[in-house]
Amino acid sequence: MLEVTGTHENCRTVQEFCEGVNATAVRSLCPLTCGCAQAFEPPAGFFAARPYGCPLSCERTLKAAMLSEAARGLAPLCADVPAAQFETSPWLRRYFRDMLHEVFSDVSTVTSLRTMLRWQGQDFGVPQNQSDEVFMSIMNYTLVDDISRGLWRFAPGVPHPRGKTGCEFWTSWEVTVMLGVNLCHFGQFRTLRMHCAISCGCRKGQNECPLSCHGFR
């Protein structure tokens, strides 16, 4: 561990190193500290998933822990968190900044986004003459920072075309197409299912979904 962090000899004090795309080794060596088997808001955030170092065994541990909580009547509600939680939660703000940083870490993806916004943006509510503003809002995290201030928009002057906020904003088809990532899709990163069970269409037994969910909305 000392070789990985440069300052810490064991897992007890490495939580600050759990987050980030380059912390795969930390998550692999200290999965419990990093929350790989933690259902809600793990310290590793967006990266609390197998492709980013979390062991496969943590998925089984997480399921067992959720079953144990459900047996004791402690299963989280099958619900979407209020939109206000996206505005106040430091964890969610880090989650979305990490997501944008990772999704657009590849130059070709950035180029594709700019081209799509310019020529197809009107299909999902982005006027052509404001496509560059939306592009920069995504690239410099203004999108995330605005939402943390309660401004649910793609960029100044460009609201969500259907007026969505909260979970419905982040899981909307417009945002999914624009960012090229489905935040409800399990397998590549930590999903929003525990925060957005309804908007993600959670069913009982699905990975990272509350066990109180019984079927589609």
* Cα separation, 183 vs 168, whole angstroms: 11
* Cα separation, 128 vs 117, whole angstroms: 7
**Contact yes or no for 170/179 (Cβ under 8 A):** no
Token duo for residue 44? 């590793």
How confident is the model over 80-116, as pLDDT tens digits?
Answer: 999 999 999 999 999 999 999 999 999 999 999 999 9
How confident is the model over 19-75, as pLDDT tens digits?
Answer: 989 999 999 999 999 999 999 999 999 999 999 999 999 998 988 888 887 777 777
* Cα separation, 117 vs 119, whole angstroms: 6
Q: Is the pLDDT of residue 171 over 90?
A: yes
* Cα separation, 101 vs 21, whole angstroms: 9
Q: Tell me, what's the pLDDT at 7?
A: 61
Domain residue limits, the chain: 2-71, 76-217
Specify the amino acid at residue 124: F
Q: Give whole-number Cα distances, 190 to 153, 163, 183, 184, in Å.
A: 24, 26, 8, 9
Q: Is the pLDDT of residue 4 over 60?
A: no
**pTM greater than 0.75:** yes
How confident is the model over 9-35, as pLDDT tens digits?
Answer: 678 888 888 998 999 999 999 999 999
